[in-house]
Structure 1
Amino acid sequence: MALTNLLKGSLVAAGLVICAAPAQAAGFSQFTFSTAATGTANPKGDIMLQSVTKSNGTHLNSFNLVTGALIQANTATTGTQQGPGSTDHGDDASGTAVELPNEAQIVASLGNLNLNNIIDTEDSRGKSIFDVVFDKPVNSFFFWERGMNSDLHVEALDSLGNVIAGTAFEITRDLWQSAGYKIDTTEIGGAQNVGSYGLKFGQNVAGLRLSSFGAADNGPDYKVVAAKTPEASSMAALGLIAGSLVLAKRRQAAKA
């Protein structure tokens, strides 16, 4: 068999394997990280993420961002506080601040590297459940939370937007680590410390379900981005191609 035909066959086989393979059972592992950003001296202004360094020493400066959102629940209340999930930004920062945001406004708030653009959920009003998806399949997620005093529920979403069973993880308020800066946004009266925490999933996923359930969670105010990760299909194809190259060389050597 010619080498080119063998490679073509490998690519076809890779597609079949990936399409046919069932999702593996997986869950979130946890990690901490430090944050490098510009503008941290001004808690009211734009604070732009530059890089993160994980506790194992891994340095990352390239990220996948939120590109889509679906509102599963955002229980409206009376009066001016509509949320409980709203978009918010620093007093002098660019961004959107909307009490009852639509999905495009959620993407506008989360889909950038400005750490002073966040989702603000109310401390005791209803529940907020947002599904967010990223521009590429991802498995490592970096979270920031204003105040370091709230809990955020996280679940993984498959390529069809369904929650992957058994993946629920709660970032409780005791887990947040100081990110080394403060933010002062339009919905609060002064600067608050920001905490950070990281989650890594056992396989690439399309996105996350992010939930807050009222008073018990104390209204998490959060930002999330993901690390750039090679797509699982590409890695599988590369593995099959590499194996095919070895096999082809052995066959050629045997014929020589």
Structure 2
Amino acid sequence: MIAKNLLLSTGIALSAVVGVSGAAQAASFTTNLGAGSNPPKGNVFLQSIEQNGQTFTYGTNLFQVTSVDIISNTGVSAFSAGGAGADAGDNATKPSPNRDNLGTDTASDVKATQYLGNNNLNNIIDTEDNGAFDINVFFGDEGVGRSSEGFDNLFFYERGKNSKIRVQALDVDGNLIGTAFTITEDLWGDAGYSIDTLEITGAQEVGSYGVSFDQLGLDDSVNRIYGLKLTALNGTGDNAFNGPDFKVFAGTYVAGTVPEPTTILGLGSVAALALVRRRRLKKVSSL
């Protein structure tokens, strides 16, 4: 699996260098797994994310959820008293031994934080098909700064690639800002791995999708957000969200690092080298 991800990274790096602006390639990204990863039932450790030739490294410029506030959580099934519950791979390291129901109490907030607040992609929030929720997630006191050049800031994973989730930004006081953006089923890309969790009986592919400040309706005056309101609905037909099973991270890319010419030539892209040179000249002329 790690070798596969490295090959995927090389392919995406080649295509991204030709179009370094970032905007054209936003939303798709490559997931690199760390040592000890053993999907689908075991641990799946996120090491880094690559987008448009740039790397978001976990613990450096890629951040986990630090706290959760479950506003509402509804829907009843054989598995859960609420729409969303804490779930993990059958053999994965997890904060608790069993799949846990989640309510709207403090203990549920803590449990959800434990499952979202680590880099194990086999610790997730699982939602029943008829479930609905409003969940606020936060990324610490420093928040998340706007990425440069159209790079994404929020990186979502969804087990099954068959659900919607609505996203809206929160300011430093926890107030909604910008506009809501819905990740629909057709937007999920291939994250490159599958997971088999306690709630299901077989492995399912995981989808991935990146969300930018622009998609959240945040103009250039908004340089930082502190959290997200995540919503799932239990409607029917096109309004059905189908119970998203998710994990989310936040990252910030700051412009200033471009691929070295030898690296680009190694990829065989003379056009990409010319583009980078033009970008460098533009930076120098603006000083």
Q: TM-score, normalised by structure 2?
A: 0.65
Per-residue Cα deviation, 1:58-103 (whole angstroms, up to 9, x for no partner): 1111322211111111015365521201111000111243112510
Is 1:195 the counterpart of 2:207 in the alignment?
Answer: yes
* Aligned equivalent of 1:83: 82
Alignment RMSD, CA only? Answer: 1.9
Stretches of structure 2 that go unaligned for 5 or more consecutive residues are 1-24, 147-152, 255-287
Stretches of structure 1 that go unaligned for 5 or more consecutive residues are 1-28, 231-256
Is 1:214 the counterpart of 2:234 in the alignment?
Answer: yes
Is 1:70 the counterpart of 2:72 in the alignment?
Answer: no
Partner SS for 2:115: helix
Partner SS for 1:93: coil
Residue type of the alignment partner of 2:69? L
The alignment covers a number of residue pairs equal to 199
Is 1:48 the counterpart of 2:40 in the alignment?
Answer: no
Distance in 1 between the 2:45 and 2:76 partners?
33
Distance in 2 between the 1:42 and 1:107 partners?
22
Per-residue Cα deviation, 1:88-137 (whole angstroms, up to 9, x for no partner): 10001112431125100111010110000111011113x11110000231
- Cα gap change, 1:76 to 1:172, in 2 (>3 Å): closer
Is 1:180 the counterpart of 2:192 in the alignment?
Answer: yes
Distance in 1 between the 2:179 and 2:157 partners?
20
Contact 1:158 1:206 in 2 (8 A): yes
Structure exhibiting the larger radius of gyration computed from Cα positions: 1
Structure with the higher fraction of residues in strand conformation: 1
- 1:224 CA drift (Å): 0.4
Q: TM-score, normalised by structure 1?
A: 0.73
Partner SS for 1:66: coil
Distance in 2 between the 1:103 and 1:109 partners?
10
* Aligned equivalent of 1:34: 30
Partner SS for 1:73: strand
Residue type of the alignment partner of 2:172? S
Distance in 1 between the 2:29 and 2:44 partners?
17
- 1:51 CA drift (Å): 0.6
Partner SS for 1:167: strand
- 1:57 CA drift (Å): 1.3
Partner SS for 2:30: strand
Distance in 1 between the 2:66 and 2:47 partners?
19
> Aligned residues: percent identity?
45
Partner SS for 1:214: coil
Contact 1:89 1:185 in 2 (8 A): yes
Contact 1:137 1:229 in 2 (8 A): no
- If asked which structure has higher relative contact order (CA below 8 Å, sep 6+), I would say 1
Partner SS for 1:187: coil
Distance in 2 between the 1:60 and 1:78 partners?
38
- Cα gap change, 1:196 to 1:79, in 2 (>3 Å): closer
